[in-house]
Amino acid sequence: MTQMNAAMFYAPMDVRFERIEIPKPGPGELLVKIGAATTCGTDIKTYERGHPTIIKKTPSTFGHEFSGEVVELGAGVTSFAVGDRVCTCNAVPCGECFYCKKGHRNLCEDLLILNGAYAEYIVIPARMVKTNVYKIPDHMTYAEAAVSEPLGTAVHAIRRARIEPGDMVAVLGSGPLGLMLARLAVLRGARVVLSGEITEERRRVALDFGVQEFVDIREVSDVAARVDHVRGLSDGKRGVDVAIEAAGFPSAWEEAMQLIRAAGTVVFHGGCKAGTTVSVDTHSMHYKEHTLIGVYHQDPDDYKRSVNLLASRLVDGRKFITETVPLSQVIKSFERVRRFEGIKFAIDPSKME
């Protein structure tokens, strides 16, 4: 067997399923048979409009959240064995550049990015094998291990948020990341209000995660009414201690800034379109000592914590998986997520139909 099934990105809205060569692991690398790849908002954006850093040339394999079984070792690999079940973060820092040395490995100037999870096999590069690959315990499904990558970014955001036990936290955005951030805030001891499109499935998962209050933006479409409502839930209606934005719209960034109390913090997790701006109330910023924090990506330490949280099921990764589907359903799954029909889909690349 030398060929495998893979989803190939040719251009926005043009993904084809093809037979391509199974890659060979070079020195220090691992060949992994993918057990599950999970759909992600980034992949959906890539499918719809392309991606400057993820897709460098076309046609290209794509998909970036996965876990699987080691089936072949590159020369010199001793830390893993054939048959190991593993997961990895799809981006790994160099450890040598200006930002890596400053302790901001998430902002590495030479980030190595791995693509190609929507395929039967993938080669994990040596730098990743050294830093960012973990064996997963037997009880863990491949699908729940695959969500370790997005959860790592939520871990990074929560570490920056400095939530104290008993704090009130508002999370804006009810997609997978909003739900992950909400769960991590609950684990920090916060009372969490989740604001977003609250579908039945999302509500169920969030309730299981310990979220106590909801604002369905489809029902309360007026921003001022939403702000009043959330502030009304807080101590003395002063505003929440921490607001975390996970929707990726400038309007949501501005809404988040209106929710916090004096000396409160906003964490911006959702990336907006390049070139967009928001306006900041200078009066609040000065007289209320607001703290605004941008967060991006994760470092290897965040990723390790993410794997531990999933392995212990303190964050139950199974809850993000709406359904497991064969490889040919990748695009259909994106469309279903867009219609709020699911949280994440697990793609099983070993099945074509």
Q: What are the residues binding Zn ion (CB under 5 A)?
A: 40, 42, 65, 93-94, 97, 100, 108, 150
The DSSP output letter for 320 is G
Taking the complex as a whole, how short is the minimal distance between the CB of residue 270 and Zn ion, in angstroms? 13
Residue 48 vs 289, nearer CB to Zn ion: 48
- From CA 259, how far away is CA 243, in angstroms rounded? 7
Residue 85 vs 105, nearer CB to Zn ion: 105
- From CA 203, how far away is CA 214, in angstroms rounded? 8
- From CA 96, how far away is CA 105, in angstroms rounded? 9
Taking the complex as a whole, how short is the minimal distance between the CB of residue 39 and Zn ion, in angstroms? 9
Tokens matching residue 172: 């804006």
Query: Torsion angle, CA of 251/252/257/259, rounded to 10 degrees?
Result: 120
- From CA 258, how far away is CA 193, in angstroms rounded? 15
> C-alpha distances in angstroms, 213 versus 172, 197, 255?
12, 13, 17
Taking the complex as a whole, how short is the minimal distance between the CB of residue 13 and Zn ion, in angstroms? 20
- From CA 110, how far away is CA 307, in angstroms rounded? 24
Residue 241 vs 299, nearer CB to Zn ion: 299
Tokens matching residue 175: 């997609």
Residue 66 vs 209, nearer CB to Zn ion: 66
Within 10 angstroms of residue 152's Cβ, the number of other Cβ atoms is: 28
Residue 147 vs 170, nearer CB to Zn ion: 147
Taking the complex as a whole, how short is the minimal distance between the CB of residue 303 and Zn ion, in angstroms? 12
Beta bridge pairs of residue 172: 195, 245
Taking the complex as a whole, how short is the minimal distance between the CB of residue 150 and Zn ion, in angstroms? 5
- From CA 43, how far away is CA 47, in angstroms rounded? 6
Residue 97 vs 233, nearer CB to Zn ion: 97
Asked if residue 180 lies in contact with residue 150, where contact means CB atoms within 8 angstroms, the answer is: yes
Taking the complex as a whole, how short is the minimal distance between the CB of residue 38 and Zn ion, in angstroms? 8
Residue 103 vs 165, nearer CB to Zn ion: 103
Taking the complex as a whole, how short is the minimal distance between the CB of residue 348 and Zn ion, in angstroms? 18
Taking the complex as a whole, how short is the minimal distance between the CB of residue 345 and Zn ion, in angstroms? 13
> C-alpha distances in angstroms, 342 versus 181, 277, 287, 317, 337?
18, 30, 42, 14, 5
Q: Where are the beta strands (DSSP E) in 197-295?
A: 213-216, 240-245, 260-268, 291-294
Taking the complex as a whole, how short is the minimal distance between the CB of residue 91 and Zn ion, in angstroms? 10
User: Which residue, 266, 19, 247, 230, is CA-closest to 157?
Assistant: 266
Residue 107 vs 278, nearer CB to Zn ion: 107
Give DSSP secondary structure letters for 120-148: SEEEEPHHHHHHSEEE--TTS-HHHHHTH
Residue 115 vs 265, nearer CB to Zn ion: 115
